[in-house]
A and B are shown apart, each in its own frame.
Chain A
């Protein structure tokens, strides 16, 4: 159906007006909202992702496409029960204790949401107990931690310890990222995965869930 392709194209182009109009038209045509979401809106982001990874698209363009996707979602969302919206997995994410940086984390959230993940954002300066409580409350498959400072990256280890202590370690996969973080460091503190950038973060999340 070409209108769905056009919608995906409009998301890719980051054309807010076109996305809104086409989504509304598809709804009026009686197309299943879940098809609109999967093939039109997420479909558009699926064009964006590989181009971003290949260095053909840049951060502001990805943000524009993600915003366009959200504008379309606002149109369809009222038509479907929250529980019917399919998602790739649930991720609880936050910047660790003592660290106030959020740009990288927010980029990861955007890419994850665009990839169909449901993301619960705990914000910045999240203490270990904050992560533990969120795991109990939201029961995610994945916990993501961000740190931009060499002084706060050890808070990742503290958080993993707290999750272990609470008996929740085998319930979640833990993914870490941020400027001072490396694969070696992730291994050292016992994380399940490391994402060097937002795309890598999404890929490691998908990979961990498919195991």
Chain B
């Protein structure tokens, strides 16, 4: 299980303000708190800084690494920004968020995956657009798998994101993702699957319930990495509980530790 902490993103108002005022302490604290809460990777996204995304990325990477010694997930569709961030990564194996099956993205981002020996999140979309059916996702995954492995990327470094869409607009949107996880995992047992869950509940009440249940459902099908807010105790508790139930937590050690850390106070 890989938890990627999503909180350092300039589309969030607090982060945007901290970046504008060069508030290092605030950014460092957000990084530290996420790691304490269980994040394995810290995602850094400053895509809203359209005029100085490169400089902002460099500053954020340096600042975060002054606070925590964990690998980073450099998050941008812009290859220049990715390279600027990757070049500064000091701890562990960096991750790129993200490549897609779109020709431009493959041409520009695949060389960076190879050069920095990075893990890579591969979105299951291509020039034909956003996927609807499970088969659409598998088709893109096949193409990307071929291109990535041909370039020497290890299967263990590939994280397919099936792209979660809201069930409020298409009834079967959740089901198609569950099916996609199953068939991708069947074809490529050694790759990983990752996603951001919250899209699934867009437009509906009680989003937390839907997000947590969908996390459990996707885990059951074989998803093993999530981009999320690790400070969300309820969600982290659900993940530890689900891992234990799926036989991924020897002696239920992590589950019991989660209990001791108070992750289930809300339920009791």
Interfacial residues, chain A to chain B (CB-CB below 8 A): 58-60, 63, 100-103, 106-107, 124-125, 149-151, 153-154, 179-180
Contacts and interface: CB of A to CB of B under 8 A. Distances in A.
Contacts of B167: 60
Contact of B205 (A58, A63, A100, A149): A58
A63 B204 contact: no
Given A149-B77, A151-B78, A60 B130 contact: no
A151 to B, nearest CB: 5
Interface residues of B, number: 19
B129 A103 contact: no
A125 B169 CA distance: 20
Interface in B123-162: 125, 129-130
B119 interface: no
Given A58-B168, A60-B169, A63-B168, 9 more contacts: A59-B168, A60-B168, A102-B130, A107-B203, A124-B129, A151-B77, A154-B50, A179-B11, A180-B11
Contacts of B76: 151
Contacts of B130: 100-102
Contacts of B78: 151
Contact of A103 (B47, B48, B165): B165
23 contacts: A58-B205, A59-B168, A59-B169, A59-B204, A60-B168, A60-B169, A60-B203, A60-B204, A100-B129, A100-B130, A101-B130, A103-B202, A107-B169, A107-B203, A149-B77, A150-B48, A150-B50, A151-B76, A151-B77, A154-B50, A179-B11, A180-B11, A180-B47
Contact of B166 (A100, A103, A124): A103
Given A58-B205, A60-B203, A150-B48, A100 B169 contact: no
Nearest to A197: B203
A58 B203 contact: yes
B124 to A, nearest CB: 12
A59 B48 contact: no
A153 B50 CA distance: 9
B8 to A, nearest CB: 15
B82 to A, nearest CB: 12
Contacts of B168: 58-60, 63
Contacts of B202: 59, 103
A150 B11 contact: yes
Interface in B1-60: 11, 47-48, 50
Given A58-B203, A151-B77, A63 B48 contact: no
B165 to A, nearest CB: 7
A45 B50 CA distance: 39
A122 to B, nearest CB: 14
Nearest to B171: A60
Contacts of B47: 149-151, 180
A154 B205 CA distance: 32
5 closest A-B pairs by beta carbon, nearest first, are A59-B203, A150-B47, A59-B168, A100-B129, A151-B77
Nearest to A101: B130
A107 B168 CA distance: 11
Contact of B169 (A106, A124, A149, A151): A106
B50 A103 contact: no
B52 to A, nearest CB: 13
Nearest to B49: A150
B9 to A, nearest CB: 10
Contacts of A107: 169, 203
A83 to B, nearest CB: 32
Nearest to B48: A150
Interface in B164-179: 165-169
Nearest to A100: B129
B165 A180 contact: no
A180 B48 contact: yes
A103 B169 contact: yes
A159 B166 CA distance: 28
Interface string B200-215: 0011110000000000
Contacts of A63: 168-169
B189 to A, nearest CB: 30
A124 B125 CA distance: 14
Contacts of A149: 47, 77
